[in-house]
Chain A
Amino acid sequence: MSRPDRSRTSAHQLRPFFSSQNLLNRADGSAQFDFGGSSVMCSVVGPAEVRIRDEKLDRATIEVVARPLVGIPSIKEKAREQNIRETLEPLILSGLHPRTGIQIVVQTMKDDGCILSTAFNATIMALMDAGIPLKSILGSVTCMVDEKTNQIWLDPTTEELAQAKSAHVFVFDNKSSITSASAGAQGKDADVDMDQDTVGAAILFSDSTGLFTEEQYFECAQICFKAAQAIHGFIRTAIAKKLEKEYQQTHA
């Protein structure tokens, strides 16, 4: 029943995650997010000047640039750029900054699976570091279904992804987690609680590859939703700590 990644005992365990903000001095905001052996650096510039042909009269233009660790950007990176941009566009309050541009650069630093999820988490932290107004924050987690055992493994490594029947990337926002938490508090028994969890969970983005059944998909969604709560909590603590530090520095 054990998984190839021997550092973890459970199938539903995330790798240790870690983040640091405000690393780069030229960008307006930056963050690095690590999921075990995977790491992504993200920088944000904006709201700034935008090329005339990209200018939008009523809102900010959001540009995402994804860069691979090895080689030149290919279709994979183009797809990643589109995924991130389309997920973030409704989240960023771009109407507040019309006729400007917000440029997001996502650079893979280490690759050990789940790069898209790592990139999502790094991006949202970099956006907050840059002070871009947001509707809500997001948290992303990847899981996979093992080919042999049909087990669901959370946050797989590259080695584990090689034997995946299907892989699923989910992004949840933190608004839905608040509603589901309050729903959970009102719920009388555990079963109802579980159901309301899925009802409350608004999926911002979902990307699945491979063969899977409907039940498998919903099971994956539920497992990832629970794991995303840990990510949300982590982001909240990281931001709180950073603000506390900044406050102490400015008021010292």
Chain B
Amino acid sequence: MKEIEPSTNEREFVLAALKDGARIDGRNSYDFRTLRLSFGSDYGAVEVQLGNTRVLAKVSCEVIRPFTDKPTEGFLVFNTEMSPMASSTFEVGRQTDEEVLVSRLIEKAMKRSRALDTEGLCIVAGEKVWSIRVDIHFLDHDGNLVDAACIAAITALMHFRRPDVTVVGEDVTIHTLEQRNPVPLSIHHIPICVTFAFFHHGEHMIVDPTYLEEQIKQGDMTITLNVHKEVCALSKAGGLPMKMDQILQSTKIAVVKVTEITAQIQAALEADAKKRQTSRK
């Protein structure tokens, strides 16, 4: 189904409000929407709600043979196919431009920033390695899919436990979850995406745009950072020309946001771990 453009009235209202430094949902320019994280009963399943945007990430693993030129490297695979559940503008079996951009951005943020130690996924060099698969399901689209998906993916990877293995000579035994405690993945750092949208030729900048704001924006930029203040990825695909100091300013805002989000992710993971421990007793 075709995307419905916002009406002129809506557009002008949003733009006029932004001029006064106000947003239609009552947020300040640099506020994120409420972030909610909920974990499934099994390891590696996380549902993220960023305002009305809803994303489900599910991590799974299997043992496969590595590439011959990289015998000790495990695999990290992302699946970010969008279903019409998120928005009826997404069609089955046909990728929209937006979809390709979002998928690339997530892959860049997570995979190319080397957040996951892929060497640690090796079982027997040249023979067996773990392949970690992250399925990202977009359930509801109310803007800023990238940030929500990124939070979902990294939280799911941190929550995930893979089965323990023992190697004796040539024999490899994979222990079931009941036999031995499963082991967490080794994660180097937590990359978090922060998306900015620009209006009025770059005069106004906001964080975490909603769907309506995304439709009206003139340009956008996504910065991926971790708590160590390291920039993992920066994506600004066209849109508006920007001043150098504006990029620096947005990076400073992003650092604050990343610290907040990382703290929330860690708190949520700890709370879940505690809950699991008490339910096991």
Is chain B a partner of chain A in the same complex?
yes
Report A's interface with B, CB cutoff 8 A: 23-27, 37, 41, 43, 45, 48-49, 65, 67, 69-72, 101, 103, 105, 107, 109-110
A67 near B54: Cβ-Cβ < 8 Å: no
Contact A107 B87, beta carbon cutoff 8 Å: no
**Most chain A beta-carbon contacts within 10 A, residue among B81, B83, B88, B135:** B88
Given A24-B54, A65-B83, A70-B135: A110 in contact with B42 (beta carbons within 8 A): yes
Q: Contact at B85–A49, with CB atoms within 8 Å?
A: no
Interface size class of B (residues with CB under 8 A): 20 to 34
> Taking the nearest CB of chain B, how far is it from the CB of A43, in angstroms?
5
Contact check, A67 vs B83: say whether CB atoms are below 8 A apart: yes
Q: Does A110 contact B142, Cβ atoms closer than 8 Å?
A: no
Contacting residues, chain B, for A71 (C-beta < 8 A): 79, 133, 135
Contacts A43-B84, A49-B1, A71-B133 aside, 17 further interface pairs with beta carbons under 8 A come to A23-B140, A25-B52, A25-B142, A26-B86, A26-B88, A27-B85, A37-B41, A41-B85, A43-B85, A65-B92, A70-B58, A70-B133, A103-B1, A109-B40, A109-B47, A110-B40, A110-B41
Instruction: Compute how far the CA of A220 lies from the CA of B92 in the bound complex, rounded to whole angstroms.
Output: 36
- B56 within 8 Å of A by Cβ? yes
Q: How far is the CA of A27 from the CA of B137 in the complex (A)?
A: 15
Say how far B177's CB is from chain A's closest CB, in angstroms: 12
CB distance from B31 to the nearest CB of A (A): 19
**A23 to chain B: which residues have CB within 8 Å?**
54, 140
Q: Bound state CA distance, A221 and B153, in angstroms?
A: 42
Which residue from chain A places its CB closest to the CB of B133 in the assembled complex? A70
B139 to chain A: which residues have CB within 8 Å? Answer: 24, 41, 43, 107
Give 30 CB contacts A-B under 8 Å.
Answer: A23-B54, A23-B140, A24-B85, A25-B52, A25-B140, A26-B87, A26-B88, A26-B142, A27-B85, A37-B41, A41-B85, A41-B139, A43-B84, A45-B1, A48-B1, A48-B88, A49-B1, A65-B84, A65-B92, A67-B137, A71-B79, A101-B1, A103-B1, A105-B83, A107-B137, A107-B139, A109-B40, A109-B47, A110-B40, A110-B41
Bitwise, B1-28 to A at CB < 8 A (1) or not (0) is: 1100000000000000000000000000
* Cα–Cα, bound, A67→B135 (Å): 11
The chain A residue sitting closest to B86, CB to CB, is A26
Residues of B within 8 A of A43 (CB): 84-85, 139
Residues of B near any A CB (own CB < 8 A) = 1-2, 40-42, 45, 47, 52, 54, 56, 58, 60, 79, 81, 83-88, 92, 133, 135, 137, 139-142, 211
- B88: chain A residues within 8 A (beta carbon): 26-27, 45, 48, 103
Q: How many inter-chain residue pairs (CB < 8 Å) link A and B?
A: 70
**Beta-carbon nearest neighbor of A70 in chain B:** B60
State how many angstroms separate the Cβ of A155 from the closest Cβ of chain B: 16
Per CB-CB distance, the 3 closest pairs between chain A and chain B, nearest first, are A105-B85, A24-B140, A43-B85
A27 cross-chain contacts in B, Cβ below 8 A:
85, 88, 140
Contact B1 A26 (CB under 8 A): no
Quick one: given A49-B1, A65-B92, A110-B40, are A105 and B84 in contact (CB under 8 Å)? yes
Of A23, A26, A48, the most chain B CB neighbours within 10 A belong to A26
Shortest distance between the CB of B34 and any CB in chain A (Å): 14
A67-B137 Cα distance, complex, nearest whole Å: 9
User: For residue B85, which residues in chain A have a CB less than 8 angstroms away from its CB?
Assistant: 24, 27, 41, 43, 65, 67, 105, 107
Q: Is A69 touching B58 in the complex (CB atoms < 8 A)?
A: yes
Closest Cβ–Cβ distance, residue A218 to chain B (whole Å): 35
Q: Which of A37, A65, A69 contacts B135 (CB 8 A)?
A: A69
Which residues of chain B have C-beta atoms less than 8 A from A107's C-beta?
A: 56, 83, 85, 137, 139
Which of A26, A45, A101 is B141 in contact with, Cβ under 8 Å? A26
Taking a contact as CB atoms under 8 Å apart, the answer to whether A26 and B137 are in contact is no
When distances are taken between beta carbons in the complex, the residues of chain B under 8 Å from A37 are 41
A107–B92 CA distance with the chains assembled, in angstroms: 13
Contact assessment for A72 and B1 in the assembled complex, using a CB-CB cutoff below 8 Å? no
A234 to chain B, nearest CB (A): 21
Residues of A within 8 A of B141 (CB): 26
**B86 CB → nearest A CB, Å:** 7
B253 → A minimal CB distance (Å) = 27
Chain A residues in 8 Å Cβ range of B137: 67, 69, 107
- The answer to whether B142 touches A72 (Cβ under 8 A) is no
Chain A residues with Cβ under 8 A from B56's Cβ? Answer: 107, 109
B45, B84, B141: residue with the most chain A Cβ atoms closer than 10 Å: B84
In the assembled complex, the CB of B32 is this many whole angstroms from the nearest CB of chain A, namely 18
- Least CB distance from A16 to B in Å reads 13
Cα separation A43 to B56 with both chains bound (whole Å): 15
